[in-house]
Structure formats: C-alpha cells, structure tokens
Amino acid sequence: MLNPEVTGHLAEWERETRSSIIFRSANGAVAEDINGKMYLDMTSCSGASPLGSNDTVFNARLARAMEQETDILPSPVSLQRLRLVGKISKMFPDTPRVFFLRTGSCATEAAVRIARYRTGRPVLLTAGFHGWHDLFQQPPWSANPPARDQHIQDFRYDLDLLEQQLVMNRGRVAGIFFTPEPSIFPAALLHEISRLAKLHGALLIVDEVLCGLRYASGGYCQKHGVKADLITLAKGIAQGIGLSAVVGTDEAMTGADTAYLGHTYLRENRAFVAGNLTQEIFEEAGIVARLAESGSALKRLFQTAFERSKIPARVLGSDSMFDIVLPSEKHGKAFAQKCLQHGIYVGYPATYMSNASMNEAFFEALEPALDLALADYCRSEDMTTPFTDASMVEYCMEAFRTTEKACLSNKHYWA
C-alpha cells in the first residue's frame, strides 16, 4: 500500500483543490483512490477520455489490433498515421492538412511556429489558455515569468485591446490565437476576430485542444462558420493516449514545410492505431451526440440541485462543456472542496466535461452525493452573498484571464 505521506509531493498536481487524492483505478466516469474511496469524475480526465476510462469496446479493439500491429516504427511516416490523417481531414475539410504531435501544448506551440514561418512575422496576439510552454506562460497566465517574451501579447478576449495591439504591431503580427470559451463568449466574438485578422494580414489560429472533438462534430469553427487558418486539436483524438494535431489550410501549412517540427515519439505506431480506433468508435456510436446528451443531463442535475437548495449559482455553457460559477472565488473553492469530500471530482474554476459512459447508475450516485455536498456547503458558507456581475467578472478573470470589460460586454450572452 502506498503511503500518502511519502508520496505527498503528488499534491503539487492538485494544487488548486489542495487535494492529496491518489488514484488507483477508474472505470467509465468513476475513479477509486488508494483508500477505496470512489469519485464521480466531472472532468472526463481533463477531457482526454470522451469514452470514459477503461472503455471495454476500445480496450478490446486496441488489444486485438495490437496483436497484428507494431508498437514503434523507425519513421513517423506510417500507414496508421496516413489513415488518421484521412479521417481528421474529412472531419475538418476547411483545414485539410494535418500535422501530428503529442500533447496539446506541443500542438499550440507548433501552430505558432507554423504561423511565424508562413508569414515571416514574429508577433502573436492571444486570448485564452494554450498550455504550459514558456510561450504561453506569459502575463496574464504567469505573473512574473523569468523569461518575458515581448512577442506574445495577450488581449484577454477584449476587442479594444486587440485592436490597439494590432495597430501597435502593424505589419508584424503573424497570427491571432484564440481559445473558444463557449460558456462566456458568443461565436460572434470569433467572427469579429476573424475579420480583424484578415484586415491585418494575420493568420487566425483557433485553439480547439479542448473543444474540437466534443463541442460539435467538426469542432467549434465549423459549427459557427468561422474559417480558421490553423486549428489545434488534442483531447479525445486517441482516447487518452497522447496525440495532438495542428490542422490547417494548404496555404497556412506551408509554414510547416520550412519549420523544424520533428520529434521522437511520433514513431509510436500504437498511438495512431488508438487514434484510428477512437475515431471509428466516435463515428459508429455517435459519440459527439452522446457527449451532448449526458452533458445535458449533468447540467440539469447541477442546476436543479442548486435551485432545490436555494443556492445562488450559474451553470453556463454548452452541454458537453460547461462552467459552474458561484458568488465568489471563496464560495467556489469551498463548493469544490465539499464536492471532493463527498466523492465528486471537480475543481474551481473548472470546465465540466461529460463522457459517453455517464449512465443512469452514474447519475443515481451523483444526485445524493451532490445534495450532501451542497448541504455542507450551505452550512459552511455565507448564503446571503448574492450572485452579481462582480461574481462573473471574478470568475472570468481567474478562469480565462479576461479583462473586466471583456466579461461584462458579453453579458447579453452569459446572462
């Protein structure tokens, strides 16, 4: 048995919730820690596992396929890779060229490099989270990075700031890099950003690492009729096995032809086998529709539980990815902590992500656990604090690093 004291450093990974949960196993959306405590996972393993953990169909097909397939090959150019290129191109026909990488951060950094090589320009204007690489751990995502990158400027979802940055960097902007956050921002915002990108000869890069394979079939841009030059994808490509991609128009992807983007582990053929099987299951079993279905039930369950307990809260977003906002950060952290105590695995701020394995038994277990968590939350927190615009501003600034204005000017959407 592992001693949690000895492995306490793992808590570093759970800093936000100050939890020291050490997981042993998971099935579907239910995970077990080393003490046998069960957790209902609201994160779909950070979005990596749309089918749920240990999916029996996927695991059986992968095992069967790997009896015939090779684990690793001398070159990253393989039949399985080409097959997956075909599938992803078909799903994203406006951006048919596909380049694979391993993590979401690999894909976002590669997209920046491709845009720079394509345009010969250095500056990136960005909004939203794009991962852990230095390029994106700049203000406001990192308060005081030891290596400050002047070529990365964050407009924090604020169109005024973006326009100022475009003017200040006229002729030097390679791309505008935007992460859709459908809980807070309407598609009209991305349409406007797309217009500005065209006006200034900058590429439009959309970070769909989280939403691309769950928000809608073919992703966010396609659903809303936005023509991006480059899109990054990762979560859900290969059912939890590390595989990410940059997809782009033929023109934008010429930037990839001159930039160096090589890496060792694209030779891992198993990841591409997993990617092909995952995408086959997505199509056969209508997984995107099922994510929306289970997500809609999940949203409704939280919404009615808050209403029943007369707790001020907002449940915002699309069915398959949504946010829960409480009157203050203090309330939100307390809510997440009570949830964890009662076996509901979530953080604050956090995107709630459904998975296809969330069945009746899951919801039957969630409802009473949530009622207990909410009863504890009501006892520990001040329930007279109302939910106001300031609650939203605080949440948006923390979760998405927006400006106050960017949050409030989209009130017509989130309210």
Ligand X SMILES: Cc1ncc(COP(=O)(O)O)c(C=O)c1O
Per CB under 6 A, the segment of 30-38, 204-212, 283-291, 406-414 that binds ligand X is: 204-212
Contacts with ligand X in 172-201 (CB under 6 A)? 179
Decide if residue 234 touches ligand X (CB under 6 A).
yes
Q: What is the CA radius of gyration of the chain?
A: 21
Contact 125, 166 (CB under 8 A): yes
Question: How near is the Cβ of 234 to ligand X at its closest, in Å?
Answer: 5
Residue 55 or 109: the one with the smaller Cβ distance to ligand X is 109
Other CB atoms within 10 Å distance of the CB of residue 410 = 20
Per CB under 6 A, the segment of 7-15, 151-159, 166-174, 205-213 that binds ligand X is: 205-213
Decide if residue 108 touches ligand X (CB under 6 A).
yes
With left for phi above 0 and alpha for psi between -120 and 50, is residue 408 left, alpha or beta?
alpha
Q: Residues 109, 158, 207, 381: which binds ligand X (CB under 6 A)?
A: 207
| Residue nearest to ligand X as judged by C-beta position | 104
Beta-carbon contacts of 59 under 8 Å, excluding residues fewer than 6 positions away, are none
**Type of residue found at 183:** S
d(CA 378, CA 384): 10
Using DSSP, state whether 207 is helix, strand or coil: strand
d(CA 88, CA 77): 16
Q: Residues 105, 222, 249, 355: which binds ligand X (CB under 6 A)?
A: 105
Q: How many residues bind ligand X (CB under 6 A)?
A: 13
Residue 126 or 328: the one with the smaller Cβ distance to ligand X is 126
Decide if residue 209 touches ligand X (CB under 6 A).
yes
Q: Residues 28, 104, 248, 295: which binds ligand X (CB under 6 A)?
A: 104
Question: How near is the Cβ of 136 to ligand X at its closest, in Å?
Answer: 8
Alpha helices in 69-147 (DSSP H): 79-91, 104-119
Contact 106, 157 (CB under 8 A): no
Contacts with ligand X in 34-73 (CB under 6 A)? none
d(CA 356, CA 367): 18
Question: How near is the Cβ of 232 to ligand X at its closest, in Å?
Answer: 7
**Type of residue found at 138:** Q
Decide if residue 157 touches ligand X (CB under 6 A).
no
Q: Residues 20, 70, 89, 103: which binds ligand X (CB under 6 A)?
A: 103
Q: If residue 352 lies in a helix (H) or strand (E), which one and from where to where?
A: strand 351-353
Residue 129 or 282: the one with the smaller Cβ distance to ligand X is 129
* Among 254, 266, 267, CA closest to 113: 254
Per CB under 6 A, the segment of 123-131, 290-298, 324-332, 383-391 that binds ligand X is: 123-131
Per CB under 6 A, the segment of 125-133, 161-169, 197-205, 219-227 that binds ligand X is: 125-133
* Among 136, 110, 114, CA closest to 125: 136
Residue 52 or 104: the one with the smaller Cβ distance to ligand X is 104
Question: How near is the Cβ of 32 to ligand X at its closest, in Å?
Answer: 24
d(CA 325, CA 19): 20
Structure-block tokens of residue 317: 């977003």
Per CB under 6 A, the segment of 15-23, 127-135, 274-282, 384-392 that binds ligand X is: 127-135
* Among 129, 145, 218, CA closest to 180: 129
d(CA 278, CA 118): 32
Residue count of the chain, please give it.
Answer: 415
Residue 351 or 391: the one with the smaller Cβ distance to ligand X is 351
Per CB under 6 A, the segment of 130-138, 141-149, 155-163, 247-255 that binds ligand X is: 130-138
Residue 39 or 400: the one with the smaller Cβ distance to ligand X is 400
Per CB under 6 A, the segment of 60-68, 89-97, 100-108, 392-400 that binds ligand X is: 100-108
Contact 316, 251 (CB under 8 A): no
**Type of residue found at 231:** I
Contacts with ligand X in 132-151 (CB under 6 A)? 132
Q: What's the first-to-final CA gap in the chain, in angstroms?
A: 49
Question: How near is the Cβ of 204 to ligand X at its closest, in Å?
Answer: 15
Binding site for ligand X (CB under 6 A): 103-105, 108, 129-132, 179, 207, 209-210, 234
